[in-house]
Amino acid sequence: MTLIRVVMVAPDMAEPEHTALLLKCYTKLKDFTTLEEFLKTTPPSQYDHATAIEVLESAAYHGLAAEVAQKVGSHDDFVRISLEQFKNYGTTVQFLHSLPRVEAGRILLNYGRTLMRHAPKETVKLIRHVCNLRGQPMDGQALQAESQGPTVDELLPVFADDLQQLEVFLRSVLVDDGCQLPQAQAERLFPTLLELLVKSHSSLHADGNIPAEKQEMASCIAADIMRLIRQYPSDAALANTLMVCQAFGFVDGFFHAAERLHRHQLLMQWCFEHKDAKRLLEVCKRYGPADQSLWVQALSFLASPESGGGHLEEMGEVLRHIEDSDLMPLLLVIETLRSSNEVTIGDVRPYLQAQYRRLVESAETSRAKSTQDRQEIARMQQEIIQLRTQAKEFQNTRCFQCGLTLEVPAVHFFCGHSYHAYCVPPDGTCPKCSSGALPKLSLKEQREAQARNAEDFFKYLQGGAGDSGIQAMGEWCKFGAFDASMASMDLEDEED
Amino acid at 307: S
Q: What residues form DSSP beta bridges with 168?
A: none
- Least distance (Å) from Zn ion to the CB of residue 375? 22
For residue 372, the minimal CB distance to Zn ion (Å) is 23
Q: How far is the CB of 396 from Zn ion (least distance, A)?
A: 11
The nearest distance, CB 405 to Zn ion, in angstroms, is 9
- Decide: 274 and 265 in contact? Cβ < 8 Å: no
Shortest Å, Cβ 395 to Zn ion = 15
C-alpha distances out from residue 10 to 24, 53, 230, 241, 469, Å: 20, 21, 69, 67, 114
Q: Give me the long-range contacts of 24-28 (CB less than 8 A, separation at least 24).
A: 24/55, 24/59, 25/1, 27/55, 27/56, 27/59, 27/61
User: Of how many residues is the chain composed?
Assistant: 496
**Least distance from Zn ion to the Cβ atom of residue 327, Å:** 46
Contact 155, 109 (CB under 8 A): yes
CA angle 164, 166, 172 (to 5 degrees): 110
Backbone angles phi, psi at 277, to 5 degrees: -70, -30
User: What are the distances in angstroms from CA 191 to CA 128, 169, 197?
Assistant: 20, 14, 10
- d(C-alpha 236, C-alpha 183), whole Å: 14
Residues that bind Zn ion (CB under 5 A): 399, 401-402, 413, 415, 417, 420, 423, 430, 432-433
Three-state DSSP class for residue 410: strand
- 175 burial (CB, 10 Å; 0-12 / 13-18 / 19+) is middle
Of 246 and 434, which has the nearer Cβ to Zn ion? 434
Q: Kindly provide the b/e burial profile for residues 146-160, where b requires at least 16 CB atoms within 10 angstroms of the residue's own CB.
A: beebbbbebbbebbe
Nearer to Zn ion, 228 or 399 (CB): 399
**Shortest distance, position 479 Cβ to Zn ion, whole Å:** 45
Beta bridge partners of 398: 405
Residue 402 beta carbon to Zn ion: minimum distance, rounded to whole angstroms: 3
Q: How far is the CB of 423 from Zn ion (least distance, A)?
A: 3
Contacts of 470 (CB under 8 A, 6+ apart): 334, 337, 338, 343, 344, 345, 348
Judged by beta carbon, residue 339 or residue 401, the one nearer Zn ion is 401
